[in-house]
Structure 1
Amino acid sequence: MAVSLYDFLPLIKPIIPNVSDIQAVYHLRRALIMFCEDTLLWLKEETGLDVVAGQREYALSPDAGTAVVTVVDAAIGDKRLVAMPEHVLLRSYDAWDAPEADTSSYYFLNQAKAFMLFPTPAEDQAGALTVHYAVKPQYASSDLSVDDYLLDDWGEYLASGAAASLQRQPGKPWTSPQDATGNYQLFRSGIVKARIKSSASFTTARPLVKRPIFTGRGV
């Protein structure tokens, strides 16, 4: 079930009573961006993608209002791919024109956040590629919705992050550097807990599994 960022307001308003809804949601979005970048907890799955012979680059399709942070897992059929930095692959193979393989073994994201396979596949494999990747809100996103467990499980921490950002503003009725420090510490403790949960979800010792997916669609 998807919820709006405005559904977090009952957690923020008791901390910052006089803040407007628009201001609160703006600072919540900033906190959520940091949370997603640091925890990789908001995941999207793309499955059934076609592997095309001679094609190494594949565009990912995050939902409107979201952006790709990084890929956390990928597989072609039953073969799990290994994440490898581009510069390591180029150093190992000397150039991108390395011999094509029947199926790729490695992947990375390029600077444009496109998903790259290496070596370049030599055979078509219809519907064989599955990619799990972490996403975050875009700064300019409006009417963003997220999965309800971000509210249910992490809402208190995210509200504290929004409150800390608001309380750092100078010259506002809610300005309070001391309270901002306390709220930011609570926010960071949530990030630590979420990072542990996220890192335990994907390990090289277990097969690729289907994950809960956040819609990211507008409300």
Structure 2
Amino acid sequence: MIWSDLYPLVLPHVAGCPEPILEDTLRRTAIRFCRDTHAWAEELASVYPAEGITRYQLTLPEGSELLSLAHAVQANNALWPRVNVFGLLHFDAAPNPDNGPIEIRAVLHPSRDSTGLPDRLGLGYDEALIHGTLATLQEMPGRDWTNPQLVAYHRAKYLESVAEARTRLSQGDTERPLTVRLPSFL
């Protein structure tokens, strides 16, 4: 999904807002949403360690920046390297190449020059993006589209969407009900 896919859903509520301002606000809202929820988590290309090397560059999806590592696992052992926003991993001790590749799951957010989000995020959480964007735009003082009476409403709807996303993600991003079966005692 590219940012302009949401223009028809936002622009009627902020008449006169220039598209560059709208696009920047959508992007900043998406960054905030991903930081608030950790909704954008992906398996990245595995890292194949080499003898004595402690630093490795991750390959991040285009238009993304690293927020955090969800996990780095080598041969069923969790590793916790230091990492920067550009995806440079730094291990205190060089990983053993004989243990195989290091599997990486990362939490991402859009970069400041991104053109959109993966469809599963942009379309799955479009209400959060729309309400967060409207709250920010309508809060801008002295603009034709300023509407302070609706800022609290849109902010509350954004926060409600964040809470729903966190709950959905904590349940494995599934719509099915989670059940627990008690073991029999006899």
Which residue identity lines up with residue 199 of structure 1 in the other structure?
S
Tell me if the contact between 1:47 and 1:130 (Cα under 8 Å) persists in the aligned partners: yes
Equivalent residue, structure 2, for 1:176: 147
TM score, norm. by length of structure 2: 0.81
- Name the count of aligned residue pairs: 172
Give CA deviations for 1:93-120 in whole Å, capped at 9, x if unaligned. Answer: xxxxxxxxxxxxx213335652234543
SS in 1 for 2:65: strand
Equivalent residue, structure 1, for 2:102: 129
Which residue identity lines up with residue 20 of structure 1 in the other structure?
P
- Unmatched tracts of structure 2, length 5 or more: 174-186
Tell me if the contact between 1:52 and 1:124 (Cα under 8 Å) persists in the aligned partners: no
TM score, norm. by length of structure 1: 0.70
Equivalent residue, structure 2, for 1:197: 168
Equivalent residue, structure 2, for 1:87: none
- Unmatched tracts of structure 1, length 5 or more: 82-105, 203-219
SS in 1 for 2:125: helix
Equivalent residue, structure 2, for 1:153: 124
- 1:136 Cα deviation after fit: 1.1
Structure 2 Cα separation of the partners of residues 117 and 201 of structure 1:
29
Equivalent residue, structure 2, for 1:98: none
More strand by share: 1
SS in 2 for 1:145: coil
Structure 2 Cα separation of the partners of residues 46 and 151 of structure 1:
20
Equivalence map 1:32-51=2 (5 Å): 32-51=30-49
Tell me if the contact between 1:107 and 1:118 (Cα under 8 Å) persists in the aligned partners: no
Q: Which moved more, 1:158-167 or 1:188-197?
A: 188-197
SS in 1 for 2:123: helix
Tell me if the contact between 2:49 and 2:96 (Cα under 8 Å) persists in the aligned partners: no
Structure 2 Cα separation of the partners of residues 190 and 177 of structure 1:
20
Structure 2 Cα separation of the partners of residues 74 and 200 of structure 1:
22
Q: Percent identity?
A: 23
Structure 1 Cα separation of the partners of residues 22 and 77 of structure 2:
42
Tell me which of the two structures has the higher relative contact order, counting C-alpha pairs closer than 8 angstroms and 6 or more residues apart. 1
Give CA deviations for 1:33-78 in whole Å, capped at 9, x if unaligned. Answer: 100111111123223320222223222222333210001122224x
Q: Which moved more, 1:17-26 or 1:116-125?
A: 116-125
Equivalent residue, structure 1, for 2:94: 120
